[in-house]
Structure 1
């Protein structure tokens, strides 16, 4: 990933970046954790991209890959045809972090506004220019050359709508805590929420509660 970021993304853009900040360089590294990020060291005039080893490992499995922002971006923005695979996820990760580099270079990265419209315009441009496909192809080629497993097979992700709910009508539940703890009985199970009728001192009230907030009571 570091080599591909340098050769496919940095080299064509280096002159433009260095025009804004003369002497700028790029250093890529693999970190031991899952943190994956771009930052700029103004003293060294160096862009630094870190790819987390645990991030790379997570993107080899459907259940851990689907929670990453890169997976949501591929789906939502239809990058690589909206298809999730280890190869697509890692290629997109390279593009995502390099887009942050270009965003910083253009002065469009702001405190509290990182994944903004300027960022996604840059990411879209990497796709439209063919750079993202070139990254994907280069990663696949290097993986074959080094005999590193890098699957391009699409993940089969479970459809949440087809998964059985852990909750049933008439289950006694509670949600909230302390003085704002509420008790009730489920009267309807929806895909992401349950409708709960209050019991005891909460009788007469009805709530729609996110499933993640519910807990069973005796």
Structure 2
């Protein structure tokens, strides 16, 4: 997927979040914190998050353009929390597709907004039972499906490809056989890219010893996130 298309999809996610999720909830949020507002933006990296400025009473949701790109491919999509949530909690029938992943991302970040407004987001306890209670309610109430349908319709109107076809996910056991102790690998991207060598091949992860500036650090990396270092 081209970066321009990913950015366009990110903006459609912003518009959908505002129109489908924020508008019905705005009065409830403002009753708890008068003057609250929401700004959605598309970030240049992969960071995707919700933040709240208590001084300005402004909620900010950022959708990273690289996150959008990553959720278009099964090998890069399955390492995200959103993939595990869809599968483990049977959201959207437990099916992973670009449409389901991006629609769920809108719901996930908006659930953080509602969690913050309800005073149920705590330091060191973000993805807690309160958060998942809110996220479950978005699905049970039809909010998540409305988000999914609106995002699909807007992408079609804009001529942007957004597939609803379920991914064929890589077989972890087959992937495991591709890696050997001592092999040079890389994971992450941009400023967060880490290079290293494999110390141990586990069932679903590899233990990697970093090289370079962080050479004393060891990481347990999901197998699907590793790439061979050429």
Q: Do they superpose with TM above 0.5?
A: yes
The equivalent of 1:106 in structure 2 is: 118
Q: Tell me: CA distance 1:40–1:191, structure 2 relative to 1, closer, same or farther (3 Å).
A: closer
Deviation string for 1:101-138 (max 9, x for gaps)? 00000000000000000000000000000000000000
Deviation string for 1:14-69 (max 9, x for gaps)? 00000000010000000000000000111211100000000001101110011000
- 2:177 aligned with 1:165: yes
- 2:46 aligned with 1:23: no
Q: Tell me: CA distance 1:45–1:136, structure 2 relative to 1, closer, same or farther (3 Å).
A: same
Contact 2:176–2:203 (8 Å) recurs in 1: no
The equivalent of 1:152 in structure 2 is: 164
The equivalent of 1:48 in structure 2 is: 60
Task: Please give the TM-score of this superposition, normalised by the length of structure 1.
Answer: 0.77
Task: Please give the TM-score of this superposition, normalised by the length of structure 2.
Answer: 0.73
The equivalent of 2:102 in structure 1 is: 90
Q: Tell me: CA distance 1:144–1:122, structure 2 relative to 1, closer, same or farther (3 Å).
A: same
Structure 2: tracts of 5 or more residues without a match: 1-12, 183-200, 206-219, 223-230
The equivalent of 2:128 in structure 1 is: 116
Deviation string for 1:62-109 (max 9, x for gaps)? 100110000010011000000000000000000000000000000000
- 2:67 aligned with 1:58: no
Secondary structure in 1 matching 2:41: strand
Structure number with higher relative contact order (C-alpha < 8 Å, ≥ 6 residues apart): 2
| Moved segments of 4+, more than 2 Å | 161-168, 189-193
Q: How many residue pairs are counted as aligned between the two chains?
A: 180
Q: Tell me: CA distance 1:190–1:69, structure 2 relative to 1, closer, same or farther (3 Å).
A: closer
Q: Tell me: CA distance 1:161–1:40, structure 2 relative to 1, closer, same or farther (3 Å).
A: same
Q: Tell me: CA distance 1:99–1:166, structure 2 relative to 1, closer, same or farther (3 Å).
A: same
CA RMSD of aligned residues (A): 2.4
- 2:135 aligned with 1:129: no
